[in-house]
């Protein structure tokens, strides 16, 4: 999506992928800066590690405690987080959800789950139910939300009544034969109006499949991927991202659509 966007704007820039061992992350960031890179994106497991390697943190990285975008400036490496805003932007755009006052069941309490939980709380959802294979991690996030966002009612465990949204932030579903992360014996998918899966490949996870069959509005994580990338593009280039071009490139490269 970035290379398509550079081409559309006539920028002689390139976006390249590098696999970096976490033990070499500091050297890789310094090397990229020394070679005149405009910036970097970081993914698992580098997003948390990089926080302490930046010369400065934008308030987005400060707030969410993770860096997914680096911009090399005269003063050094500045860390940003474009993931959190992308979650809510995609929920609004792809599911037409009003988050303020909503009831949300969030599956997963890893890095993505934590960011989603805190972002949803900051958007003033009314009720947040956190479910995770390892409940202690959900408890920890619930504690953080209780301290920071008093108006949000947060519970660890499945809801007793219907919700506006089920949001999957676990990695269960990435493999084609993965089960759904939703325990349907505890909470049936047709008790939700909408279901969002952060996973975008495969395009339809077991969770989304059963949500569709139950008549829920559904969306996968492609919109999140798009919006975090578009925001990073704007940070690096200082120009508005051509989002339509980027979406089309994503669909073509991820799903092979023309
Ligand atoms: P990410 O940065 O993508 O969130 P992560 O921090 O490793 O990655 O988190 C992965 C999430 O998927 C966690 O919520 C994890 O549950 P645990 O906290 O219990 O590990 C969840 N997850 C991964 N594999 C799972 C599985 N087989 N069943 C249920 N949950 C799973």
Kindly report, residue by residue over 145-192, the tens digit of the pLDDT: 999 999 999 999 999 999 999 999 999 999 999 999 999 999 999 999
Judge whether residue 106 has pLDDT over 90: yes
Q: Where are the domains of the chain?
A: 2-81+225-255, 84-220
The pair phi, psi for residue 197, each rounded to 5°, is -115, 120
Equal CATH topology for 2-81+225-255 and 84-220: yes
Is 110 close to ligand 1, i.e. is its CB under 6 Å away? yes
Distance 7 CA to ligand 1 centre (A): 36
CB atoms within 10 A of CB 106: 27
Is 109 close to ligand 1, i.e. is its CB under 6 Å away? yes
The pair phi, psi for residue 83, each rounded to 5°, is -75, -45
Q: Which of 105, 111, 113, 134 to mutate to test the pocket of ligand 1 (most atoms within 8 A of CB)?
A: 113
Q: Which of 43, 68, 133, 169 to mutate to test the pocket of ligand 1 (most atoms within 8 A of CB)?
A: 133
Topology classification of domain 2-81+225-255: Rossmann fold (3.40.50)
Is 133 close to ligand 1, i.e. is its CB under 6 Å away? yes
Which residue, by CA, sits nearest to atom 18 of ligand 1? 134
Give the percent of the chain with pLDDT over 90. 97
CA 163/CA 129 separation, integer angstroms: 9
Q: What is the pLDDT of residue 44?
A: 87
Give the percent of the chain with pLDDT over 70. 100
CA 161/CA 218 separation, integer angstroms: 20
Cβ-count burial of 83 within 10 angstroms (0-12 exposed, 13-18 middle, 19+ buried)?
Answer: buried
Which residue, by CA, sits nearest to atom 6 of ligand 1? 110
Average pLDDT over residues 93-114: 96
Q: What is the pLDDT of residue 257?
A: 73
Judge whether residue 206 has pLDDT over 70: yes
Q: Are strands 69-73 and 39-41 parallel, antiparallel or unpaired?
A: antiparallel
Average pLDDT over residues 32-48: 96
Length of the chain: 258
Distance 8 CA to ligand 1 centre (A): 37
Is 221 close to ligand 1, i.e. is its CB under 6 Å away? no
Is 175 close to ligand 1, i.e. is its CB under 6 Å away? no
Is 171 close to ligand 1, i.e. is its CB under 6 Å away? yes
Is 88 close to ligand 1, i.e. is its CB under 6 Å away? no
For domain 84-220, the CATH architecture is 3-Layer(aba) Sandwich (3.40)
**Catalytic site residue from 23, 47, 212, 258:** 47
Is 115 close to ligand 1, i.e. is its CB under 6 Å away? no
Catalytic site residue 147?
Answer: no
When pLDDT is cut at 50, 70 and 90, the band that residue 258 belongs to is low
Cβ-count burial of 82 within 10 angstroms (0-12 exposed, 13-18 middle, 19+ buried)?
Answer: buried
Judge whether residue 141 has pLDDT over 70: yes
Distance 133 CA to ligand 1 centre (A): 7
Distance 149 CA to ligand 1 centre (A): 24
């Amino acid at each position: 999506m970035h290379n398509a966007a550079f081409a559309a704007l006539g920028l002689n820039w390139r976006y390249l992928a590098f696999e970096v061992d976490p033990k070499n992350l500091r050297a890789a960031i310094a090397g990229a800066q020394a070679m005149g890179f405009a910036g970097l994106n970081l993914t698992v497991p580098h997003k948390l590690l990089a926080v302490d390697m930046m010369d400065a943190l934008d308030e987005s990285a400060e707030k969410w405690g993770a860096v997914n975008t680096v911009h090399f400036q005269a003063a050094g490496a500045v860390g940003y987080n474009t993931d959190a805003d992308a979650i809510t932007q995609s929920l609004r755009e792809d599911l037409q959800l009003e988050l303020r006052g909503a009831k949300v069941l969030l599956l997963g309490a890893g890095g993505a789950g934590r960011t989603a939980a805190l972002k949803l709380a900051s958007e003033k959802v009314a009720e947040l139910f956190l479910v995770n294979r390892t409940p202690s991690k959900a408890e920890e996030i619930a504690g953080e939300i209780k301290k920071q966002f008093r108006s949000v009612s947060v519970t660890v465990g499945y809801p007793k009544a219907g919700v506006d949204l089920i949001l999957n932030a676990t990695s269960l579903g990435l493999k084609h034969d993965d089960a759904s992360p939703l325990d349907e014996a505890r909470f049936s998918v047709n008790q939700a109006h909408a279901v969002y899966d952060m996973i975008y490949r495969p395009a339809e996870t077991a969770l989304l499949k059963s949500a569709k069959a139950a008549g829920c509005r559904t969306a996968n994580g492609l919109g999140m991927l798009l919006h975090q990338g578009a925001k990073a593009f704007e940070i690096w280039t200082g120009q508005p991202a051509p989002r339509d071009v980027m979406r089309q490139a994503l669909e073509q490269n991820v799903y092979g659509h023309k």
